[in-house]
Amino acid sequence: MARAVTNRQKTINSLAAWAVGLLIFFPILWIFVMSFKAEGDAIKAPLEVLAAPWTLENYGVVQERSDYSRHFVNSVILAFGSTLLGLLVAVPAAWAMAFVPSKRTKDILLWMLSTKMLPAVGVLYPIYLLFIQLGLLDSRAGLVVVLMLINLPIIVWMLYTYFKEIPGEILEAARMDGATLHEEILYVLTPMAIPGMASTVLLNVILAWNEAFWTLNLTAAKAAPLTAFIASYSSPEGLFYAKLSAASTMAIAPILIMGWFSQKQLVRGLTFGAVK
């Protein structure tokens, strides 16, 4: 039973929470504000920045000068490509582990997770070398595969926990009702699994979109997604705050929106079901 809370208490809670929330969100808000300011105004004191006129020019400049849209397309291809490819491999595996568990299922799951713990830097050179040998350096195809592999354990794991929630009796009922394996998957399992698969896709697109080790190390101009594109702004000469802000806003906006939808799944996906 939730206890009734006085309005006064609730007001205090709200004020405190909103203050903290805005404080944490402030850098993002500031990026957003800056992106609509002229470059010359952006380096002024905060209050002057706010007072300065608003402009859209940065967005145009970013697009013209550095071909933002190409990197954006790269990000989309890498994030969605790796996730869908991962789904293709993970759905059968997770299905098998959830519905036909054997003594080794648990070990296999844990082993898969353990590959996620492998520090990327430990295998950087071998992958780099393989990419050179296979001509995959700075190619989207190679990166799609790598991103798929690093997120595969999470995809398998999330799908497994979602499939696990589908009661086995329902599948047995379907079998008793005369559904073949194919029909069972088509009419019973898939409709019930779609919400879980959707959240899995969402979270993995986010993770792949923000991946910034392999994308920085294995791409140059051609296949670089937004993570690497933004990194090119780290040159030391000043007077680019507004453009950096515009580029950043465009890079994080789509994923922020997706993230807001996926907050519940985030916990499940990133703790491997250890916290529910």
Partner 1 sequence: MGQIQLNQVSKSFGSVEVIPPLDLTIEDGEFVVFVGPSGCGKSTLLRLIAGLEDVTGGHVTIDGQDATEVAPAKRGLAMVFQSYALYPHMSVRKNIAFPLRMAGLDKAEQDRSVAQAAEVLNLTDYLDRRPGQLSGGQRQRVAIGRAIVREPAAFLFDEPLSNLDAALRVGMRLEISELHKRLKTTMIYVTHDQVEAMTMADKIVVLQAGVIEQVGSPLELYQRPRNTFVAGFIGSPKMNLIQGPGAEKHGAATIGIRPEHIDINENEGLWQGTVGVSEHLGSDTFFHVQCNASHEPLTVRATGEMALEYGAEVHLTPRTEHLHKFDVKGLRME
Partner 2 sequence: MATQHSRSAARLMMAPAVVLLLGWMLVPLTMTLYFSFKKYLPMRGDSLANGLDWVGFANYTRFLTSSSFWPSVYATLVIVGGVLVITVILGIFLALLLDQPMWGQGIVRILVIAPFFVMPTVSGLVWKNMFMDPVNGFFAHVWRSVGAQPIEWLSQASLPSLILIVSWQWLPFATLILLTAFQSLDQEQLEAAEMDGARWPQRFVFIVLPHLSRAITVVLLIQTIFLLSIFAEIFVTTQGAFGTKTLTYLIFQRVLESQNVGLGSAGGVYAIILANIVAIFLMRIVGKNLDA
* Only segment of 132-140, 151-159, 182-190, 219-227 that touches partner 1 (CB under 8 A): 182-190
Q: Which residue reads 């879980």 in tokens?
A: 196
Instruction: State CA 179 to chain mean position distance.
Output: 36
What is the full DSSP assignment across 199-244? HHHHHHHHHHHH--SHHHHH--TTT--HHHHHHGGG-S--S-HHHH
* Only segment of 22-30, 175-183, 199-207, 235-243 that touches partner 1 (CB under 8 A): 175-183
Q: How far is the CB of 159 from partner 1 (least distance, A)?
A: 18
d(Cα 259, Cα 101) in Å, to the nearest integer? 32
Q: Is 167 in the site for partner 1 (CB under 8 A)?
A: yes
Which residues ranging from 191 to 220 are in contact with partner 1 (CB under 8 A)?
Answer: 191-192
Return the number of the residue (22 or 186) whose C-beta is nearest partner 2. 22
d(Cα 59, Cα 36) in Å, to the nearest integer? 8
Q: How far is the CB of 53 from partner 2 (least distance, A)?
A: 19
Return the number of the residue (152 or 158) whose C-beta is nearest partner 2. 152
275 binds, among partner 1, partner 2, none (CB under 5 to 8 A by kind): partner 2
* Only segment of 88-96, 165-173, 220-228, 250-258 that touches partner 1 (CB under 8 A): 165-173
What residues contact 99, with CB distance under 8 A and at least 6 apart? 163, 168, 171
Q: Which of 31, 143, 144, 174 contacts partner 1 by CB under 8 A?
A: 174
Give the residue among 23, 41, 42 at the shortest CA–CA distance from 245: 42
Which stretches of 35-165 are DSSP H helices? 39-42, 46-51, 57-66, 68-99, 105-116, 124-133, 140-164
Return the number of the residue (52 or 166) whose C-beta is nearest partner 1. 166
Return the number of the residue (57 or 183) whose C-beta is nearest partner 1. 183
Interacting residue ranges for partner 1, rule: CB under 8 A: 167, 169-170, 172-179, 183, 187-188, 191-192
